[in-house]
Amino acid sequence: MTEPVVLFEEVSTASGHRFGIATLNAPAALNALSVDMVRALLPRLSDWQADAGIAGVVLQAAGEKAFCAGGDLRQLYATLRECGAGRNTYAEDFFREEYELDHLIHTYAKPLMCWGHGIVMGGGVGLMAGCTHRVVTEGSRVAMPEVNIGLYPDVGGSWFLRRMPGRTGLFLALTAAQMNAADAIFCGLADHLVPQANKAQLMEAIAATRWHGEGAADRAELSRLLARAGEGASAPASKVRAHFDTINALMAGEDLLDIARRLGEFKSDDAWLSGAAQAFAKGAPSSAAVTFAIWQRVLHMSLAEVFRLEYRASLGFCAHHDFAEGIRAVLIDKDRKPQWQPARLEDITPEFVADHLRERGEMPSSLAALA
């Protein structure tokens, strides 16, 4: 029999309360987030939030390589080829349900810990970013690489990237640069560095703790457990912190063409920085343009408003060429030779960007109701 894509269990604790544990269970696919995973997680997390006997929740993944390497886009790709610029009901459901789950996580009333070991990218960052306690390990590799596939950093990325120090979030969005554990903590995407070897001990401590059944007190208790579990952990050097001034200088101003020119002329002996500039040059110009437009728009938006904007933007990308082409080049044919349209940033018009962000049909009531 095929195993469930998400495994659920409940662990008893010393206070009589229980901790819910949700485990993404597709390690061969690097736990890529599928529609079936979302449809399993959303009702269970909602039920656990409403259950007075549940003190908190742990979100983790099977295997040692990845918490979640992004979204499972193969089925979506088939519908993009079939629907073209027309209505795509699969895409509507795909993004609506994922954003409902992400919003629930951001607003969860109980301690919700994400164990972000290994690869945490795209949709995986969307799951982790909103948790109350976000754990990274010495093996964490975190990124929003959507510019590589003709998309933009969605799953709430428009919200949390805008709130990172300086213009680091814009840099990470445009260049798909990878972060280590220290980077993730510096940028506000993670809270605790805990060695992977200490995980079993932490889970034992959770079971041995007398929880209060009250959100604020239990969040504080979990923070103390994580601080103890991470004592003495050796953090890698943060590239983002080390190059903070350079990143801000590269990303300065309100004209994307100025930023693109600086990245194109940039030379550095640092492989991480130069690799980021090269990734921008290879990424989809449409992704960069819409990402920058959203960056400018969302500063004073609420989280719910951002998810509604992202829903429109995601359907807009589905109706244009580059998203399907990026999935083809990276995930389907794997030739890594996408043919972007337009091929140059200079050829993108304000009307082209606006068409990615316009309403396409009525906003789903579940997203319209988010507060």
Instruction: Provide the annotated active-site residues.
Output: 71, 123, 146, 154
Q: In what order do the strands lie in the sheet with 18-24?
A: 6-12, 18-24, 54-61, 112-116, 133-136, 192-193
Q: Locate 82 and state its tokens.
A: 């079939």
Q: In what order do the strands lie in the sheet with 141-143?
A: 66-68, 119-121, 141-143
Output the CA–CA distances (angstroms, integers) from residue 222 to 8, 57, 211, in the order listed. Answer: 20, 11, 9
Quote the CA–CA distance of 93 and 42 in Å, as a whole number.
13
Q: Locate 223 and state its tokens.
A: 């923070």
Check residue 20 and report its DSSP letter. Answer: E
Quote the CA–CA distance of 334 and 331 in Å, as a whole number.
5
One-letter amino acid identity for 79?
T
Q: Are 126 and 67 in contact (CB under 8 A)?
A: no
Residue 114 bridge partners (DSSP)? 59, 134
- 224: number of Cβ within 10 Å: 11
Quote the CA–CA distance of 80 and 87 in Å, as a whole number.
10
Q: Are 61 and 68 in contact (CB under 8 A)?
A: yes
SS3 155: coil
Residue 133 bridge partners (DSSP)? 113
Q: Is the dihedral of CA 219, 222, 228, 232 positive or negative?
A: negative
Q: Are 184 and 136 in contact (CB under 8 A)?
A: yes
